Homo-oligomer: A and B are copies of this chain.
Amino acid sequence: MNESQGRFTKRGVDYPIIDGMRTLPGRYYHSRDIYAEEVEKIFYKFWLFGLRAEQIPEIGDYQLVQIEDESIIVLRQKEDVFKAFFNVCRHRGTKLCTEPKGRFDQNLIQCPYHAWTYRLDGRLQSAPLMKEGHGFEKAKCSLHEAHVYNWDGFLFLNLDRNPEPFEVRMEALVNKFREWEMSKLRIAHHIRYELNCNWKLILQNYQECYHCPGVHPLLSQWTPVHSAQHDYSKGAVIGGFMDLTRERGSMTMDGSAAGPPVGCVGGEDLQRIYYYSVFPNLLLTPHPDFVMYHHIIPQGPGKIINDCYWLFHPDTIKDSKSQEGIRSAVEFWDLTNRQDWQVCEQMQQGTKSKRFTRGYYSGREDVLLTLDHEVLKALGHTIEDGDD
């Protein structure tokens, strides 16, 4: 690490010296107004992770994805074509589907109220007794569509009418984990956590290991804190990795691999755990032998659902000899997650105090400043000096 003139570089990355730099003011975790702004300017505007393609395996299968007030029907229209529609009938606004997932009979989406019927591409097929010409045009009554992008089996959604292209926004991600062949992986386990904290605290927690020695003794044993490094990051993607001390190890209760490496992962990647936060709602943790990810679903300024999934190769999932390894990977991360949730919830509570204005970042928390700036840029906010 070289340090000079208020900046330092680490493995070629240029960092500002940030010891003593200030955190966001507390209102960014508690204000209903700021949260409403975040919904408009971040969750209704940016690419969000929605679900895995494997969760709607057949043509005509759908699953609902809830983004704040918006219910989105994500369906498989053709073998490799996914569509996303606002779950709202064009007649009088009735919610079309209420079951969280299912299959459209005869590949038609029918409103239960007055039987208006749509095709899988969203076009209105029939509207009983409606006459065209007095303000009503069938061709203008297709379902409202949202954008979908399938990245390695992760379906991302965008509710904005004219979103920035996925490949631009997610440049640092697009080809990053090709060797993992993630589109071939399948969900082996899922745990839903309901947490009382702001969504940004989870991202912050994920991107620094300053807290690891005290909070995660086991994790710190398998991947030493000092090994944490950040890659060059761009757009919505911030990432880094930590080194596994143990040859062919992984993040499990005993530190050994849970299964064979996935895809064609090799070389130094066999000794690394990657931590990539895909702003704003996906935390992606590729291991040599599996992928763990968190899907963060804000429920207000102080509440989130965190859906945590473990992806393994289907052969590993079927292999009876691998069950203990999978179980151990789940147990390790469930333990580690709960350690994190506890301190995130305490930070949520503490920052509510009027006496908390802004905190201080240590040098180990440099990336959090980048996250804060990403939020402020999206909202069009600047923090005044008087805010501390």
Contacts and interface: CB of A to CB of B under 8 A. Distances in A.
Interface of A: 6, 17-23, 26, 44, 69-71, 86-96, 98, 112-115, 127-136, 141, 144, 210-211, 213-215, 342-343, 346-347, 349-356, 359-364
Given A17-B134, A19-B131, A144 B355 contact: yes
Given A95-B349, A98-B349, 18 more contacts: A6-B134, A19-B132, A20-B130, A20-B131, A20-B134, A70-B353, A86-B356, A91-B359, A93-B350, A94-B346, A94-B350, A98-B346, A113-B211, A113-B215, A114-B211, A128-B213, A129-B362, A144-B355
A18 to B, nearest CB: 7
A95 B346 contact: yes
B347 A93 contact: yes
Main secondary structure of the interface of A (DSSP, over half): loop
Contact of A92 (B128, B349, B360): B360
A91 B360 contact: yes
Contacts of A6: 134
A51 B314 CA distance: 60
A112 B346 contact: yes
Number of identical protomers: 3
Contacts of A210: 114, 128-129
Contacts of A115: 213-214
A256 B133 CA distance: 43
Given A86-B353, A94-B346, A19 B136 contact: yes
Given A113-B343, A129-B364, A211-B113, A93 B135 contact: no
Given A359-B92, A360-B92, A113 B353 contact: no
A363 B71 CA distance: 29
A162 to B, nearest CB: 15
Contacts of A362: 91, 114, 127-130
A1 to B, nearest CB: 13
19 contacts: A17-B134, A19-B135, A20-B131, A70-B353, A70-B354, A87-B350, A88-B353, A91-B360, A93-B359, A94-B343, A95-B347, A98-B349, A113-B211, A113-B214, A113-B215, A114-B211, A114-B362, A128-B210, A141-B360
B92 A21 contact: no
A212 to B, nearest CB: 10
Nearest to A361: B92
Given A134-B21, A352-B69, A359 B112 contact: no
A356 B162 CA distance: 18
A112 B362 CA distance: 16
Contacts of A133: 19-20
Contacts of A359: 89-93
